[in-house]
A and B are shown apart, each in its own frame.
Chain A
């Protein structure tokens, strides 16, 4: 009996030891994946926050469900502008963060080497009724603290915009508005954040979040990560993420906008961002130059029910064209090189203001419903989130080795011939033009792939260096870009994708495909 008991005791002790041992391993493993802050979502908001937090001595992870930053949601497809800040209702977060965010872009773009132009914006009034609205906007702007605004006469408008329709009556001119490449900015933020120690995981969709002993466990389809704080910057899906954790549910509904981009030949038609007088559904259809010299028209505004319903339609594109003709008749829609649809993440709260703050769950911070002017507000949102984290108890010591400067990008197109020659001598890959429409060299593409948070797909390359963004839309360069990706990432050409997931470009090796097919056929004949 006694021996029996001892055996049981021994076994039990062994079991306890085993449990302890396993638990130790578990903790060790969890430590490996233990962060101070996990940011969910790699759009402009998530990336701005990541970059802001990279200034401090904390461990930060950003989880993104697509294969790249600014790849799936609103940060990829929007009006590509910096709003001056006269639209939001005074006193709202939108008003405060828009104006503050706008001011921050000069320094940010300089540090991050992102092209941005403060071309100014016009809200164009084509009737006396609309002129009245201009004064309302002007007043709002004053209350919001917007600088350098004025209401100007049709003559002055014509001087700034010779191609605006003759029916122009007056306009609200805001000099602080600007144009920028939105995904270019997000990529730069992410790169700089990574340079300063923020970790990124891609292709991981958050499936559940739970909290135990003050630690969040963020589960994705393949893995799990632990942190003390979670920042929900999941854009269109911020409601889904919030509702995994918080009892205070909210919902984000998608509002779609369709756009057209016209050939650079039409770029001369607008010098500033030309808005129309806003309505309930948004700021109306604009005509704007892009920072790369194309002409952008759109967006339409339509509430949709499915967040994935991001397609262009005949009706929408027609509406965008018709709407834009109200401001500038002269553009030729046949010079369209591409169309796209963007989706605004509209929150179901009063006034549709941004939802920013710690939720009912301690340490879980929502940054949700960041629709327009979300892009312009993003740097100010990042500051605000930093303060919220501080207030929530996160100890943040400034790093002494934070480098605000992103590794500069070489753009062959912008160099002098002397600079080009020096570069080519040093790195011959810069002497090989891969995209002829936008004059992009192999050197630039290789750099885009090798950088921190580098390109992994055809669209990733396109968004970083514009290869495939010109008038032939990649017809010429995409096979060459595919080859470079396959070589640089050391993967089979068959696994190169357009934008991650199952978006593979090629489906089989030609000769093998037909050989196998006939082999099967012959077998079945026998």
Chain B
């Protein structure tokens, strides 16, 4: 059995988690203070996920770039590819906070949404 120690990143509390793993099976998880911590520990062993926050180019609006994020965390290994996908698109106003900028990015089932509004100049 292998013990893996993690710091939960779900919230700023940063709980210290201990996951006991037998081969690929999770045997026990301890140290979490909420359900989301438990879920994080599971994901982190099976498939680590992260929320991507970045920007996309904007044209004709009051800002040169608009901030965006994935609505849910996506597999960590896809972060760089997703940034590349997003670097190739250009958005135009009007955009409201929460508008979908890219649907189902890299077939993850997760949408990329705007986190800032963009109005015409």
The answer to whether any beta carbons of A and B sit under 8 Å apart in the complex is: yes
Q: Which residues of A are interface residues toward B (Cβ below 8 A)?
A: 510-512, 514-515, 518
17 contacts between A and B (CB under 8 A): A510-B55, A511-B55, A511-B56, A511-B57, A511-B87, A512-B87, A514-B83, A514-B84, A514-B87, A515-B84, A515-B87, A515-B88, A518-B80, A518-B81, A518-B83, A518-B84, A518-B87
Complex alpha-carbon distance, A514 and B87, angstroms = 7
* Residue from B55, B56, B84 with most neighbouring chain A CB atoms (10 Å): B84
* B 45-86 binary contact with A (CB < 8 Å = 1; else 0): 000000000011100000001000000000000001101100
Min CB distance, B99 to chain A, in Å? 18
Provide the bound-state CA to CA distance between A515 and B55, in Å.
Answer: 12
Chain A proximity of B82: nearest CB distance (Å): 11
B-side contacts of A515, CB under 8 Å: 84, 87-88
Top 9 nearest A-B pairs (CB, nearest first) are A518-B84, A515-B87, A514-B87, A511-B87, A511-B57, A515-B88, A514-B83, A514-B84, A515-B84
Q: Is A510 within 8 A of B65, CB to CB?
A: yes
Complex interface: chain B residues within 8 A of A511 (CB): 55-57, 65, 87
**Chain A residue with Cβ nearest B84:** A518
Q: Chain A residues near B84: list those with CB within 8 A.
A: 514-515, 518
Residue of B nearest to A512 (CB): B87
Interface-central residue, A510, A511, A512, A514, by most chain B CB under 10 Å: A511
Query: Whole-angstrom distance from the CB of A11 to the nearest CB of chain B?
Result: 63
Q: A514-B83, A515-B88 known; 6 other A-B pairs, CB under 8 Å?
A: A510-B55, A511-B57, A512-B87, A514-B87, A515-B87, A518-B80
CB distance from B121 to the nearest CB of A (A): 15
Residues of B within 8 A of A514 (CB): 83-84, 87
Near A by CB (< 8 A), chain B positions 70-121 give 80-81, 83-84, 87-88
Query: In the complex, how many angstroms separate the beta carbon of A526 from the nearest chain B beta carbon?
Result: 15
Chain A residue numbers with a CB within 8 Å of B56 are 511
Contacts of B57 in A (CB 8 A): 511
Residue numbers in B under 8 Å from A510 (CB-CB): 55, 65
Q: Which B residues between 19 and 61 are near A, CB-CB below 8 angstroms?
A: 55-57
Q: How many angstroms between the C-alpha atoms of A510 and B56 in the bound complex?
A: 9
A518 to B81, CA, bound (A): 8
Give A511 to B55 CA distance when docked, in angstroms. Answer: 8
How many angstroms from the CA of A514 to the CA of B54 in the assembled complex? 12
Which single residue of chain B is at the shortest CB-CB distance from A515?
Answer: B87
Query: Roughly how many angstroms separate A510 CA and B65 CA in the complex, as a whole number?
Result: 9
For the complex, give the distance between the alpha carbons of A327 and B96 in Å. 62
Minimum CB–CB distance for B48 against chain A, Å:
21
Q: Which residue from chain B places its CB closest to the CB of A493 in the assembled complex?
A: B64
Residues of B within 8 A of A518 (CB): 80-81, 83-84, 87
- Nearest-Cβ distance from residue A66 to partner chain B, whole angstroms: 31
Q: How far is the CA of A511 from the CA of B84 in the complex (A)?
A: 9
Q: Which residue of B lies closest to A517 (CB)?
A: B84
A512-B81 Cα distance, complex, nearest whole Å: 15
Complex: A326 Cα to B57 Cα, angstroms: 57
User: How far is it, in angstroms, between the C-alpha of A8 and the C-alpha of B118 when the chains are bound?
Assistant: 77
A493 to chain B, nearest CB (A): 10
In the complex, A514 Cα to B84 Cα: how many Å? Answer: 7
Which A residues lie within 8 Å of B88 (CB)?
515
A510, B55: Cα distance in complex, Å:
9
Residues of the A chain whose Cβ atoms lie less than 8 Å from the Cβ of B87:
511-512, 514-515, 518
Task: Tell me the smallest distance from the CB of B57 to a CB of chain A, in Å.
Answer: 5
User: How near does chain A come to B35, taking the closest CB pair, in angstroms?
Assistant: 36
Residues of A with C-beta under 8 A to B83: 514, 518
Q: Which of B55, B57, B81 has the most CB of A within 10 A?
A: B57
Question: Nearest Cβ distance between residue A521 and chain B, in whole angstroms?
Answer: 8
B34 to chain A, nearest CB (A): 35
| Least CB separation from A519: chain B residue | B84
Rounded to whole angstroms, the CA-CA distance of A83 and B65 in the bound complex is: 53
**Smallest CB separation, A480 vs chain B (Å):** 14
Residues of chain B within 8 A of A512, CB atoms compared: 87
Tell me, in angstroms, the Cα distance from A514 to B52 when the chains sit together.
Answer: 15
Q: Which A residues are in CB contact (< 8 Å) with B81?
A: 518
CB-CB < 8 A to B65: which residues of A? Answer: 510-511
* Smallest CB gap from B58: residue in A: A511
State A515–B83 Cα separation when bound (angstroms).
9
